[in-house]
Amino acid sequence: MRERLALSRPTEASSGKTGSWRTFRPVVDREKCNACGLCAQFCPDSVIDEDLVIDIEFCKGCGICAAECPKEAITMVREDR
Amino acid sequence: MTAIPKEEYLLKCTSACAGCSSSLCLRYITKAAGPDTVLVVPACCTSVIQGMYPNTAMDIPVYNIAFAAAAACASGLSNAFRALRRETNVIVYAGDGGTVDIGIQALSGAFERGTDFLYICYDNEAYGNTGMQRSGATPLGARTTTTPGGKPTTKKDLDRIVEAHDPPYMATACSAYPLDLFKKVKKALSIRGPKFIHILAPCPPGWRYSAEKTIEMGKLAVKTGTWVLYEREYGNLTINGPSKAAIRKPAPLEDYIKGQGRFKGVTPAMLEQMRQQMQANITRLVREEEGIC
């Protein structure tokens, strides 16, 4: 059916896969992580899920998670592209 | 602690800059408001970060409207919903340009009419969407593209303008304290009438600091006393915990100023003026809380 109204539909990745914006990739050291969840709380793009796994396809690499981690379990590693 | 809902109404992958505090705020506001909400967004960063047609990152209805009309549009929406006996939340999410400069007449009008809605101003202290031009909310000494030598005048005190309308609930918040923001939105939506929340939203490209410091900058603004977190419920002022601690033992103002490229040209005289203003603001709020004035 033809869409008569110019409505935008809710979609993930409405701006494409923003993982390609990244210069630095967050790498989690599971040994140091105590699962406090502050990284997920402060992530502006909600790419960190309940199990604290970072969705690398969408992560823009801002580094807030690494800066706010109290255990310093996240390091930002330069992407090689 | 209040349980934060797991549902996200701001879907992954908006076109916001890396480290954007506005999308962080929007996440918690929509979580607090729930799915029965209509968002009214005037021209601001948020009208861009939704993404491009035919897609949108917002999982709730959004009404994109002209700069000057946000609060007026929300008035109409709110009245229509109430006439249908529906309790849908109407939230205006506007930037500082759309609130303190262009949208202020509609804001004032809606507050005077007593519309049942929530107005949220996220304040990055300039017109960020168009590349950081000065706004009425830009603080003294801040460099923007239209004030390359630093803004010579001070920030417009929006909260006192809104306070003059005597709303049942108004509050300030900061993106570095998302749980506090969540609670304030929840509380605001439980009250009938016009409500107002003013959020300080640090902006990495505009304030010229690197993206990972967004939370740190917000916390510094509160810890130095530059931004005071408070709530005013039916005229009774409460200063919130983090700001109470900051008033007792403030962090040096230089920590906040030095971290931002936009304050590069601040002279010692300007710094002193900023400190005096900050102190005057804090004194006024503390006296009000104690019931002296």
- Provide the CATH number for the domain around residue B49: 3.40.50.970
**B146-177: pLDDT as tens digits:** 999 999 999 999 999 999 999 999 999 999 99
pLDDT at residue B1 greater than cutoff 80: no
Residues A46, B27: C-beta atoms closer than 8 Å: yes
pLDDT(B37) > 70: yes
Which residues 6+ apart lie within 8 Å of B87 measured at CB? B36, B81
Question: What is chain A's Cα-based Rg?
Answer: 16
Which ipTM value was assigned to this complex? 0.90
Give residue A80's pLDDT. Answer: 84
Give the long-range contacts of residues B183-191, CB within 8 A, separation 24 or more.
B183/B2, B183/B32, B184/B231, B185/B28, B185/B29, B185/B32, B185/B33, B185/B118, B185/B120, B186/B2, B186/B32, B187/B231, B187/B233, B188/B118, B189/B32, B189/B33, B189/B89, B189/B118, B191/B233
**pLDDT score of A2:** 64
Chain A: give the shortest CA distance to residue B119, in Å: 21
How many structural domains does chain B have?
1
Mean pLDDT, residues B19-47: 94
Give long-range contacts, CB 8 A cutoff, 24+ apart: B142-148: B142/B262, B142/B263, B143/B261, B143/B262, B143/B263, B143/B264, B143/B265, B144/B206, B144/B262
- Rounded to the nearest integer, the mean pLDDT of chain B is 93
pLDDT (mean) for A7-24: 85
Residue B16 lies in a domain: no
In a domain, B134, yes or no: yes
| B194 pLDDT higher than 80 | yes
Instruction: Select from B6, B10, B13 the Cβ nearest to the Cβ of A15.
Output: B13
Closest CB to B13: pick one of A12, A22, A76: A12
Contact A50 B6 (CB under 8 A): yes
Compute the average pLDDT of residues A9-28: 87
pLDDT digits (tens, 9 = 90+) for A30-45: 999 999 999 999 999 9
Q: Which tens digit of pLDDT belongs to each residue from B71-81?
A: 999 999 999 99
The pTM (predicted TM-score) of the whole model is 0.94
**In the prediction, which pLDDT does A15 show?**
78
The range of the structural domain enclosing residue B114 comes to 21-289
Confidence of residue A1 (pLDDT cuts 50, 70, 90): low
Percent of chain A with pLDDT over 70: 96
Domain A25-78: top CATH class: alpha beta
